[in-house]
Amino acid sequence: MKQYCNTVLLFLIVTQVAFSQVRTIQELDVNWKFQKGNNSEAFHVNFDDSKWQTVTVPHDWAIYGPFDKEVDKQNVAIVQNGEQVASEKTGRTGALPHIGTAWYRNKFTVPQYEKGKKVMLLFEGAMSEPQVYLNGEKVGEWAYGYSYFYFDISQLIKDGENTLAVEVSNKKFASRWYPGAGLYRKVSVIVKNKESINQWGTTITTPIISDEFAKVNVKTEVSGDNTHLVTTIFNAEGEQVAKDRTSNQFGNQFVQNIKVINPNRWSPESPYLYTAKTQLFVDEIVKDEVSTRFGIREIKYEANKGFSLNGKVRKFKGVCLHHDLGPLGTAVNKAALKRQLIILKDMGCDAIRSSHNMPSLEQLELCDEMGFLFLAESFDEWAVPKVKNGYNRFFEDYAEKDIVNLVRATKNHPSIVMWSSGNEVPDQWGTAGVKRAKWLQDIFHREDPTRPVTVGMDQVKATMESGFGTLLDIPGLNYRVHLYEEAFEKFPQGFILGSETASTVSSRGIYKFPVEKASMKQYDDFQSSSYDLEYCSWSNVPDDDFVLQDDKPWVIGEFVWTGFDYLGEPTPYDEMWPSRSSYFGINDLAGLPKDRYYLYRSRWNTKDETLHILPHWNWEGREGEVTPVFVYTNYESAELFVNGKSMGIQKKNNSTPQNRYRLMWMDVIYEPGTVKVVAFDNEGKPIAEKEMKTAGKPFKIMLSPDRKTIKADGKDLSYVTVSVVDKNGIECPTATNQLKFKVTGNGTFRAACNGDATSLELFHVPTMKLFSGKLVVTVQSKTQVGAIQLKVTGKGLKSSTLKINSSK
């Protein structure tokens, strides 16, 4: 097994228009014209588009709805879920109108343009199969909706106004989840000199690290002759710490080895970032300049030891994330991404897997800054299809190009510590799949020899027999907890990664009785119990993975399915309309924590106290019935009281996986009032307590923003949690009131979401029902500085108003 050692790397920071003397990066975000439902080839030339909709990019045309059962209804057996008989599925891709063709057109001028300069057009993602035209001429096309790609448009650009037209098209049966639709990631125009640094042409590694110094290796690919290169390294405080000049060019590449004294290492606990400013000169004239953020860190994967970062063995405390942002759809928004990561950071999560696609550059930038290890995934499908019109159509022609672009665009991010070439691909069966796995892994190794490659394998027995699992750098097991021991014995790597774990299902604030473990359990209301004991036919509850992580040193961590609910795949209700989003999330679609959040937090957040009681205590009609109480806590024991009467002390023990990680009082009889838990330290002394009370009727609306000040850039967001309380200020956990929202001032209403997987209310209409007593309203800034006011009203409720400030 190879040891993969490296430290990282690049992120080119792009603003709306970033100027330097030698290079401009212009983000094309405003004044786009959009038209759906016409595939006329005439749309790429001049004509009247005055009646088209004006939108900003990133843009997802389908998230505005409406939800429609017919959009993604299909008769299919989902093989990876173990189904053998076809049945009617609904909501599989979110039941939103993402299928069809649309056109985007933008008229722009290029700042500081001079004839003879290089002009590049960069797309960070277009869903999907984009056809690109400039000034009436076809520039090029791409296939994969998740790939980054660029074109040289130097010969087509004009001095003055240019017209860019992009056709995008989503086919039926092309995805297993909601893919979004349109130009959902950034589009930029880059202008530079003929003598310049190539696109994604900077590679930074740190092959030698000690407390005294680090060797920073900088490889820079350039265009132009008779040039020399100067690279200056700055620390996080902006102070120069090293500089090197070289005129030794090898083909189109410069290689520099630069010494940084007393380096600060990057880690999730201390995400320290350096910046390398690379300048290309002809004579003494600067022709190009690129700033590259990187981190100094060492990674290793070793048999029987596992994964180590900067010399310290650790296990991945990770989650899988789909690319949609709930009610915002797939349109990338940095504030929304950051909110997700803040929530996960508080849970103690330290790793993200991009499932099952290439991540946004904004997400990687945030993971670098905030300290998350990252598993960057490429494909959900190779040559053998999962869905009729999936990536299998493009695999032979595009797989290498897509991997090359993935690695070159992102390899300088210190957060990325491994690549994934696939997820549960049907190619796991047979020799052809083994050859494909090796071919893909070799491409990753060629482009980046510093990081290992994994595949999320669900057909573990097949990969044992075929050699598929043996050739991987890291054998990743999706579920199959009963096969971990056998896989460790048969695979030669000396460790196993839980590349996808749990798939426990739950609905925030919904509890079912009797309380028992169950697979694929269904109820009349199409919800799943938040006692966190229900799972899928192929999966398990969290505690089963906890045992493996704690007891097996050769298990190197896990990536839980999933950190947040996502649109589509409403298992176990994919045959039951109107379920249209997942139940897997540790947090719901609105970003509100489910009970399961605190179970993971009690294990993963080793700094802060966790003491969480479930279920809620509003059970009118259950008086006198058994209503079990669970406590998720980092403490080993606690005593429970109901209306002052002790229910006894529970201690964590090894009798079952649940008893090992949860405190459970299974025989509690419900009576309204107060539930209180007192936790004890290791010496048996009371150290913390928490209580909850039965609420009365909803009386007043309460508003709680995640941020009271946001940037006046037209993009920033404040997420406002809306709940209702009774006359005594106690939250009403079962409230379902219909609320209305009004935003005035220097902001706009962006969306609302209540986390209910069965709700057909539109996200972008300013009214919605509470679900389990809560929902979230998203407020977006305008470009003017000043106050934003959100008012929330509901029939029979005392309204509430919130002031949010926007500033530069």
Catalytically annotated residues: 424, 500
Q: Where are the alpha helices (DSSP H) in 250-333?
A: none
Q: How many residues does the chain have?
A: 808
DSSP helix/strand/coil, 721:
strand
> In sequence order, which residues have a C-beta less than 8 Å from that of residue 100 and are 6 or more positions away?
36, 37, 169, 170, 181
Q: What's the N-to-C CA distance of the chain in angstroms?
A: 51
Q: Which of 148, 192, 180 has its CA nearest to residue 361?
A: 148
Q: Where are the alpha helices (DSSP H) in 52-152?
A: none
- Residue 369 corresponds to which tokens in the numbers above? 């800054």
Please state, in angstroms and rounded to a whole number, the distance separating the CA atoms of residues 378 and 399: 9
CB 594, CB 508: distance < 8 Å: yes
Query: Strand 629-633 to strand 534-535: parallel, antiparallel, or no bridges (unpaired)?
Result: unpaired
Q: Where are the alpha helices (DSSP H) in 220-349?
A: 334-347
Q: Please report the DSSP string for 550-561 in residue order.
A: HH-TTEEEEEEE
Q: Which of 730, 727, 711, 707 has its CA nearest to residue 776?
A: 707
Please state, in angstroms and rounded to a whole number, the distance separating the CA atoms of residues 187 and 183: 8
- Residue 199 corresponds to which tokens in the numbers above? 């696109």
Residue corresponding to tokens 């926007």: 806
State the CB neighbour count (10 A cutoff) for residue 549.
18
Q: Please report the DSSP string for 751-802 in residue order.
A: EEE---TT----TTSSEEE-BTTEEEEEEEE-SS-EEEEEEEEETTSB-EEE
Please state, in angstroms and rounded to a whole number, the distance separating the CA atoms of residues 755 and 763: 11
Residue at 711: amino acid letter? K
Please state, in angstroms and rounded to a whole number, the distance separating the CA atoms of residues 77 and 647: 47
Return the exposure string of 416-453: e unless at least 16 CB atoms fall within 10 Å of the residue's CB, then b.
Answer: bbbbbbbbbbbbbbeeebbebbeebbebbbebbebbbb
Longest CA–CA span in the chain (Å) reads 88
CB 568, CB 94: distance < 8 Å: yes
CB 257, CB 226: distance < 8 Å: no
Q: Please report the DSSP string for 395-421 in residue order.
A: HHHHHHHHHHHHHHHHTT-TTEEEEEE
State the CB neighbour count (10 A cutoff) for residue 307.
24
